[in-house]
A = this chain, B = another copy of it.
Amino acid sequence: MSEVDLNADLGEGFGVWRLGDDDALLDLVTSANVACGFHAGDPTIMRRVCATAARQGVAIGAQVSYQDLAGFGRRAIDVEPERLTDEIVYQIAALDGFARLAESAVTYVKPHGALYNRIIDDEVQAAAVVAAVRAFDARLPVLGLPGSTFLRIAAAAGLQVIHEGFADRAYLPDGRLVPRGVPGAVLHEPETIAQRAVRMVVDGEVEAVDGSVVAISAQSICVHGDTPDAVRIVQLVRQKLVDNGINLHRFTSLGNGSPS
């Protein structure tokens, strides 16, 4: 029987501002990528999301980012690698504090936004992120794009890597994502998104924008929480996965076995 993790970005409000429905999504996902205050999130939001996630058995992941609230971490920054390592340690550690308050712990790390995209290719920044995870806790798996420089360096450094698939993002024929600015980069039709999720898990493939089929070994499916119909979409994705006999699993489960 197939199994997969279902992850979403959570805790991405800041102060009075809200983004996405954290509570509704925590009922649906198995892993929560919690913003750590550098692109979104603040101490109160972090505490609340960690408390709810822990109560519901949802895995808590550190969604680490460039330091850029004004740009929501969506602009690449040429930060020096040593500084980047330090910034990521800071974020994981801060979030772990709130996870431990909830008698849980940070169990994985997922880079956010522009950092996620940058380290698909950038060896220096990818190595800086890997160095941060290893320094903080070398047992923490990292979540990233299959085929990325990031996952390659992480695996070589002995970190467990989790292959991620995006149910609601358009793919290029080479397995990369269509950049956010490009029309059609983000899918909105719930049925389509749910079908793509199932196909990723069951068949290990996704259809690219040019109609070609890309092989993808998704151990975790990412769904976005900040689109207008986010909750309804995640509900449908979850249901379709279950209807197709796929077991939903948080990372800590995956972490105990050997992901193929």
B72 and A15 within 8 A (CB) = yes
Does A80 sit at the interface, judged by CB under 8 A?
Answer: yes
| 10 A-B pairs with least C-beta separation | A93-B97, A17-B17, A43-B86, A43-B90, A94-B94, A76-B78, A16-B72, A44-B86, A75-B78, A43-B87
Stretch of A63-71, A143-151, A168-176, A233-241 at the chain-chain interface = A63-71
In the assembly, how many copies of this chain are there? 4
**Could you say which residues of chain B place their CB within 8 Å of the CB of A24?**
none
* Interface residues as binary, A120-156 with B (CB distance below 8 Å gives 1, 0 otherwise): 0000000000000001100000000000000000000
Sample 23 A-B pairs with CB under 8 A, ordered by A number. A14-B17, A14-B70, A15-B69, A15-B72, A17-B19, A37-B90, A43-B86, A44-B83, A47-B89, A68-B77, A75-B78, A75-B79, A75-B80, A76-B77, A78-B114, A90-B97, A90-B98, A93-B94, A93-B96, A93-B98, A94-B94, A94-B97, A101-B135
Does A46 make an interface contact (CB < 8 A)? yes
Question: Which chain A residues numbered 1 to 31 have a C-beta less than 8 Å away from chain B?
Answer: 13-19
Cβ–Cβ < 8 Å partners of A114 in chain B:
78
Known: A16-B19, A44-B86. 19 other contacts (CB 8 A): A14-B14, A14-B70, A17-B18, A42-B70, A43-B83, A43-B89, A44-B83, A67-B70, A75-B78, A75-B79, A75-B80, A77-B77, A90-B97, A91-B94, A93-B96, A93-B98, A94-B94, A97-B136, A101-B136
